Amino acid sequence: MKKHLIAAASAALVLAGAAHASGDHHHASWSYGGETGPEAWGKLKSEYSACTGNQQSPINIVAKQALESDMTKIKFDWSDTALQVKNNGHTIQANYDEGSSIKVNGDKFDLLQFHFHSPSEHALNGKLYDMEAHFVHKADNGELAVVGVFFKEGKENKALAPIWNNMPQHVETKDVAGIKINGEDLLPKDTKEYFHYMGSLTTPPCSEVVNWYVLAEPIEASKEQIEAFSEVIHANNRPVQPLNRRFVLAND
């Protein structure tokens, strides 16, 4: 059953990417508000039925309730990549060239892309941060791993600048010549402390096949940078979902 779910989730990612690349946003079947908002996702299409499941993301992470674990530190092996920025109508996304990956607890996952949500999707001890980046990875067997990084309002984030300066104002994909970026520039200094749980994609089809690794230490972005994102995308955070019978592991 898990293999079927993983295959379905992987196919969904490919199809979603194809739809976004084609610019077919006028017929978007879901949104973050109104009749097609998060509360309705599971009823919009049969393919979205997992959105009503019991292992959904995001969640509120309560640090004191997380179980201490001896998980390994996440090994980031991310290279520079040509800058390709996509506005898919739901987020701003930077696509990644092949060859970058993470290794965690003996498993390797290849980095596909990273994108942003504002406010944050995950909450930490009941608090939503100003923004959250999701670094989406996929293993050879189709299993997914997403690294979440919180942003708080503070000083200007220079690593965001090339992405923000080329942010499409409408649904579009931009290949920016002569500029390379590296996702490691958007990681906090301390990546050892993180929270891990099993969850889902935070957007339809909400497939419950995601290994989540949410870093505890936030990084900063200026008020102007946060507002610039919100002016283009507006609020794009799914409300936190019940933890149900799952548990959260803490690595520190």
pLDDT in tens, 61-92: 999 999 999 999 999 999 999 999 999 999 99
Measured CA to CA in angstroms, residue 198 lies from 85, 212, 233 at distances of: 28, 6, 27
Question: DSSP string of the chain?
Answer: -HHHHHHHHHHHHHHHHHHHHHT--TT-S--SSGGGSGGGHHHH-GGGGGGGSSS-S--EE-GGGSEE--PPPPEEE---EEEEEEE-SS-EEEE--TT-EEEETTEEEEEEEEEEESS-SSEETTEE-SEEEEEEEE-TTS-EEEEEEEEEE-S--TTTHHHHHT--SSSEEEEEEEEEE-GGGGS-S--S-EEEEEE--SSTT--S-EEEEEESS-EEE-HHHHHHHHHHH----PPP---TT---EEE-
pLDDT of 205 reads 98
Active-site entry in 4, 20, 90, 117: 90
pLDDT in tens, 23-51: 333 346 899 999 999 999 999 999 999 99
pLDDT of 3 reads 45
What's the whole-model pTM score? 0.90
Rounded Cα distance, 193 and 13, in Å: 28
Domains of the chain: 2-251 (3.10.200.10)
pLDDT at 7 over 80: no
Cα–chain-centroid distance for residue 166?
A: 20
Judged by average pLDDT, the poorest of 8-12, 170-174, 230-234 is 8-12
Q: Decide if 26 is catalytic.
A: no
Q: Which residues contact 1 (CB under 8 A, 6 or more apart)?
A: none
pLDDT at 169 over 60: yes
